[in-house]
Amino acid sequence: MPEFVAGAADDGSRLDIVVASRSGLSRAAVQRMIAAGTAQVGGRRAAKHHVVRRGERIAYVAPAAPSPLESETVPYRLVYEDDAVLVVDKPAGVVVHPAPGHEHGTLVQGLLDRGIAGGHELRPGVVHRLDKDTSGLLIVARTPVAHRRLVEALARREIRRRYLALACGDVPHDEGEIDVPIGRHLRDRKRMSVHSGRPRPAVTRFTVRDRLPGYTLLDVTLETGRTHQIRVHLAALGHPVAGDVTYGLRRRPEGLPRQFLHASGLAFRHPMSGEEMAFESPPPDDLRRFLAALGGGGERGGGRC
């Protein structure tokens, strides 16, 4: 049951107006909810015309909208949970939301039972995405208001995302910025490219974390969030992500089952409280094993790009 404490802006307003503002539901829907007894002030039922006072604790049960999706068992690690948001660690191989060719087994379907909401009916709660074969941290909203505020924060570039990427070859500078627009490939619409008829601004920053035989380990941050941005930008730099068969070499190095890209850090202001939130995710086992092989000189697998 979502709940909140009325603030100064709520003081003196009717209960139905306050709950509609906080929940993102229509005022008519809130009035029906209150009439059904699923809204409480201080643990007791209240009328729609109740005048809210600052400091009152308000709780409600939002009506469940019918969903075209059904819950499924999908692997993920729950990192954080409250009434407004989830932070999850997505494993490689899991698609974030249903799309043509991936109608089942997505992260969204795995999270339905936890109560996610906001945005499109086929991707409820989704604020940002990761590629299927990229692992790591994602925010998912549990209410329409939280979703709207998080999407707005993302547009203002206030959600900070950090990635661990293994680039092929020796990246020459210890840090850098790639400021090159990205759009759909001119001939292959499933790919993105720096050569596009309708490119959009894209900025990627990187810092070298380690230099290994045949590779450079990078910490990467996004100023923008275009599709496949890190993969396209590093390929354009001449140092594609290791194991990326779409934008790099067609064969993966021995011992690396997928592209070496992991969303390792996430920081944002909580959409309801404004509290600063920060989360870290260590690289999963498949990437750590490949790094360990490289650290041993690459003789036990790993190889080179």
The residues assigned a catalytic role are 131
Tokens coding 129: 């995405």
**Residue the block writes with tokens 């906080």:** 22
Tokens coding 155: 């547009």
**Coil, strand, or helix at residue 261?**
strand
> Do residues 30 and 20 make contact, with C-beta atoms less than 8 angstroms apart?
yes
> Do residues 293 and 301 make contact, with C-beta atoms less than 8 angstroms apart?
yes
Cα–Cα distance between 212 and 210 in angstroms, integer?
6
Percentages (nearest 5) of helix, strand, coil residues in the chain:
20, 30, 50
DSSP per-residue letters across 209-238: EEEETTEEEEEEEESS--TTHHHHHHHHTT
Cα–Cα distance between 87 and 110 in angstroms, integer?
13
> Do residues 148 and 118 make contact, with C-beta atoms less than 8 angstroms apart?
yes
Q: Which residues contact 5 (CB under 8 A, 6 or more apart)?
A: 55, 56, 57, 58
Please give the radius of gyration of the chain, using alpha carbons only, rounded to the nearest integer.
Answer: 23
